[in-house]
Amino acid sequence: MKLALRTLTGVDRPLIGMVHLRALPGAPQHENMTHVVAAACRDAELLVRGGVDALLVENYGDAPFFPGSVPPETIAGITAAALAVRGVSELPLGINVLRNDARAAIGIAAAVGAAFVRVNVHTGALLADQGWLTGSAHETLRARAALRVRVGIFADVFVKHAAPVPGLDIADAARDTWERGGADALIVSGAATGAPTDVGRVAAVRAAIPAAVILLGSGVTAENAPLLLAHADGAIVGSALQREGRAGAGVELERVQAVAAAFRAARG
């Protein structure tokens, strides 16, 4: 049975704000966990003040990413940061473990009381700069059941920074992710971080699975939100909420307020 978007995020058409973590222990650019936690809490507080509906914590600063399972120090770092964010916000929280460690995300979500996880490749396989990213829906759903947690699975379809296998179209990939993979929401994004989502791709997924919950995964701004939200059920927004519209640069309150106002207008 699918977990409802309102149950997971508190609203029917959520604006989910990204908390891009700085490099964690073990990553090439890591400096200090104190700074990681302080920056995460600062960004979370500004996102809350600006009017987002939920938060999504992600190890954005860890590039180059592991293609699959991440080491214990990464899991520990994300958990520590997520718990700190929970300390400054009561909003629903999500976890994404880059590049594609859904099992770790489910475990962290269970530990910190998160409401949902993002999974870049839930079913099938895509070719990315990390090599082949392979879905493990069979393990992810069994892990969720074993842990007895009601954690939503928000799964990308043709995730950004990756290419699908030849001959596979987005409609078929979406059907597999939604029906056979058991995702609770589908994420459709542009080609790269901050790149606008192609409305045509969203429409193709909607036509293939009218009942699916669809979230926009990249490129949503205050200017294009009304158009894009006419085709989707919500959005995950990062770059547009940060300085100079650049992912990882730090959240700016005025940018959050502008996008949140556009969402309120689009929701009527």
Per-residue pLDDT of the chain (268 residues; tens, 9 = 90+): 899 999 999 999 999 999 999 999 999 999 999 999 999 999 999 999 999 999 999 999 999 999 999 999 999 999 999 999 999 999 999 999 999 999 999 999 999 999 999 999 999 999 999 999 999 999 999 999 999 999 999 999 999 999 998 989 999 999 999 999 999 999 999 888 888 888 999 999 999 999 999 999 999 999 998 888 888 999 999 999 999 999 989 999 999 999 999 999 988 7
State both tokens at 238: 């990062």
Q: What's the pLDDT at 196?
A: 86
**Domains of the chain by start residue, with CATH:** 5-267 (3.20.20.390)
The three-state secondary structure class of 14 is: coil
**Residue 181 and residue 141: Cα distance in Å, rounded?**
8
Q: What's the pLDDT at 156?
A: 97
Q: What's the pLDDT at 106?
A: 98
> Rg (Cα) of the chain, in Å, rounded?
17
Q: What's the pLDDT at 154?
A: 98
Output the CA torsion 29→31→37→43 (10° steps). Answer: -50
Q: Which residue bears the tokens 């058991």? A: 182
**What pTM, to 2 d.p., does this model score?**
0.96
**Residue 11 and residue 32: Cα distance in Å, rounded?**
36
Which residues have a Cβ under 8 Å from the Cβ of 130 and sit 6 or more positions away? 64, 65, 66, 67, 99
Q: What's the pLDDT at 73?
A: 98
Q: What's the pLDDT at 8?
A: 97
The three-state secondary structure class of 116 is: strand
**120 with 56: CB under 8 angstroms?**
no
Q: What's the pLDDT at 14?
A: 96
**181 with 137: CB under 8 angstroms?**
yes
Which residues have a Cβ under 8 Å from the Cβ of 224 and sit 6 or more positions away? 196
